[in-house]
């Protein structure tokens, strides 16, 4: 037969991506930062399977997420779904294990999720979420803490200009209840959500003609959504609008406590806003809602969203398991950081590069590298004795900070050359002082 082999075109599925070291290093750093912040607030790590019985996942996030869920039948005929977020599996997890864990329980969870929707910038079919949640308490303390975690998280990642927009589902429900619009809640909120883009005129006419509200109802809803000002001023203006409904008042006092406490905790006013028009989020939210936008790149969407969901676990257990938490969109945030020039283009996994000059000195090189590693300094040894210039070029391209250069004369005299690749300067250093000198330069 033909000697030409038919090659398979190397490619990835739409919305699925490969990650080269240059992308993976900042990605891991971001995740480590998030884990550190979560732990500092007392959240513990957990993990769950990426596949679940479809019945566990279906109908929990709303019709839209059901449509986007990857779903198939496995070899045993089981109806299987790939998780589209980490919150729904967590509710199942909590219902299953809360007996041994006890309440309240705080966890964080980092892992990929899948949604079969159309791709866009910062929007993929496989992406990492980095969640933290507290379950087993309805205390507003946990709501406030969620806002504080988001604030510290973005600070730790390196952002100064961002806004956490907060609302409460109960406020909206209260308003609609007092207007006798509870039935149309979903469609009213969907239209309302377009306020920013479409403007009040378009929203008004769609509420009237599309959803069928009366003039009075339209103006009441618009008046509510268009309120602006400090949280305190907003809450004062909102109170009379929701006074007629108990839920509304509960949401009102929850938000009042939240903003008061967040301010007392030192969150700057410009980073935390009450936004009555935020209504979105998955179907399971029942209380406070959070969305986080970057002031310098609002178009990319919310990079960290969440809220309170007091009924989610009731689908799996009779025990009351209210929860609150949020999800950091790692991939979306990285796309934003890339665009904002916050990511250094370098892919050196460790600080020190060691060129190999003489093949028959392999044992000496390995021993020297091992000494450095034992002292806590990461070292990469080049695998073959090429021309030194070429090896240094390799090191430079990877972004190594330092090179430790040694050949026969150095090995015999117990020294080596320590070269700062950034400054392009080298000094001769006694082998015993090497780790210390490296520490000074890093």
Contacts with RNA, residue ranges (CB under 7 A): 9, 11, 13-15, 62, 64-65, 85, 115, 117-125, 127, 129, 190, 193-194, 197, 280-282, 291, 299, 301-305, 327, 329, 331-333, 357, 387-390, 392-393, 395-397, 403, 405-410, 417, 419, 421-424, 426
* Beta carbon of residue 355, minimum distance to RNA (angstroms, whole number): 9
* Beta carbon of residue 239, minimum distance to RNA (angstroms, whole number): 27
Q: Which is nearer to RNA, 10 or 77 (CB)?
A: 10
Tokens of 73: 């039948």
Give the residue among 17, 110, 26, 12 at the shortest CA–CA distance from 338: 26
With left for phi above 0 and alpha for psi between -120 and 50, is residue 358 left, alpha or beta? beta
Q: Which is nearer to RNA, 370 or 387 (CB)?
A: 387
Give the residue among 365, 351, 355 at the shortest CA–CA distance from 402: 351
Q: Which is nearer to RNA, 129 or 142 (CB)?
A: 129
Q: Which is nearer to RNA, 241 or 379 (CB)?
A: 379
Tokens of 337: 């950081």
Distance, in Å, from the CA atom of 321 to the CA atom of 97, rounded to the nearest integer, reads 12
Q: Which is nearer to RNA, 275 or 331 (CB)?
A: 331
Distance, in Å, from the CA atom of 209 to the CA atom of 265, rounded to the nearest integer, reads 45
* Beta carbon of residue 102, minimum distance to RNA (angstroms, whole number): 27
* Beta carbon of residue 97, minimum distance to RNA (angstroms, whole number): 23
* Beta carbon of residue 391, minimum distance to RNA (angstroms, whole number): 8
Distance, in Å, from the CA atom of 341 to the CA atom of 295, rounded to the nearest integer, reads 15
Phi, psi angles (nearest 5°) of residue 378: -75, 135
**Helices 246-264 and 140-157: crossing angle, nearest 10°?**
40
CB contact at 8 A, 306 and 171: no
| Secondary structure of 173-220 in HEC code, one letter for each residue | HHHHHHCCCHHHHHHHHHHHCCHHHHHHHHHHHHHHHHHCCCHHHHHH
Antiparallel, parallel or unpaired: β 126-135 and 272-274: unpaired
Residues 6+ apart with CB under 8 A from 440: none
CB contact at 8 A, 333 and 157: yes
* Beta carbon of residue 237, minimum distance to RNA (angstroms, whole number): 26
* Beta carbon of residue 184, minimum distance to RNA (angstroms, whole number): 14
* Beta carbon of residue 206, minimum distance to RNA (angstroms, whole number): 10
Q: Which is nearer to RNA, 177 or 331 (CB)?
A: 331
């Amino acid at each position: 037969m033909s000697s030409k082999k038919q090659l398979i075109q190397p490619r990835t599925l739409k919305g699925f991506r490969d990650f080269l070291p240059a992308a993976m290093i900042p990605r891991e750093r971001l995740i480590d930062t998030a884990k550190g912040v979560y732990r500092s607030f007392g959240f513990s790590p957990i993990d769950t399977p990426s596949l679940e019985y479809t019945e566990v996942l279906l109908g929990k996030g709303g019709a839209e997420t059901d449509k986007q869920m990857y779903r198939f039948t496995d070899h045993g005929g089981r109806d299987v779904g790939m998780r589209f977020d980490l919150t729904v599996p967590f509710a199942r997890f909590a219902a299953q294990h809360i007996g041994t864990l006890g309440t309240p329980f705080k966890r964080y969870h980092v892992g990929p999720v899948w949604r079969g929707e159309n791709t866009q910038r910062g929007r993929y079919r496989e992406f990492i979420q980095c969640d933290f949640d507290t379950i087993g308490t309805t205390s507003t303390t946990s709501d406030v803490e969620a806002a504080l975690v988001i604030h510290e998280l973005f600070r730790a990642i390196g952002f100064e200009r961002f806004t956490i927009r907060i609302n409460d589902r109960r406020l909206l429900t209260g308003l609609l209840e007092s207007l006798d619009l509870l039935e149309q809640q979903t469609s009213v909120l969907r239209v309302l959500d377009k306020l920013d883009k479409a403007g009040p005129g378009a929203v008004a006419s769609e509420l009237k003609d599309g959803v069928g509200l009366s003039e009075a109802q339209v103006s009441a809803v618009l008046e509510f959504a268009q309120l602006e000002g400090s949280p305190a001023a907003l809450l004062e203006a909102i109170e009379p609008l929701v006074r007629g409904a108990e839920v509304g008042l509960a949401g009102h006092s929850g938000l009042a406590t939240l903003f008061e406490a967040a301010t007392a905790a030192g969150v700057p006013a410009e980073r935390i806003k009450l936004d009555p028009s935020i209504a979105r989020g998955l179907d399971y939210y029942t209380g406070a809602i959070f969305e986080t936008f970057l002031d310098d790149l609002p178009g990319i969407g919310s990079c960290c969203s969440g809220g309170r969901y007091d009924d989610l676990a009731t689908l799996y257990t009779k025990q009351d398991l209210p929860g609150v938490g949020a999800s950091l969109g790692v991939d979306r945030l990285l796309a934003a950081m890339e665009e904002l020039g916050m990511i250094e283009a370098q892919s050196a996994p460790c600080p020190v590069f060691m060129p190999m000059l003489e093949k028959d000195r392999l044992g000496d090189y390995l021993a020297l590298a091992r000494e450095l590693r034992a002292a806590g300094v990461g070292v990469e040894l080049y695998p073959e004795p090429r021309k030194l210039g070429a090896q240094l070029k390799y090191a430079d391209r990877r972004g190594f900070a330092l090179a430790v250069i040694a050949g026969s004369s150095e090995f015999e005299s117990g020294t080596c050359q320590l070269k700062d690749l950034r400054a392009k300067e080298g000094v001769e250093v006694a082998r015993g002082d090497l780790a210390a000198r490296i520490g000074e330069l890093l």
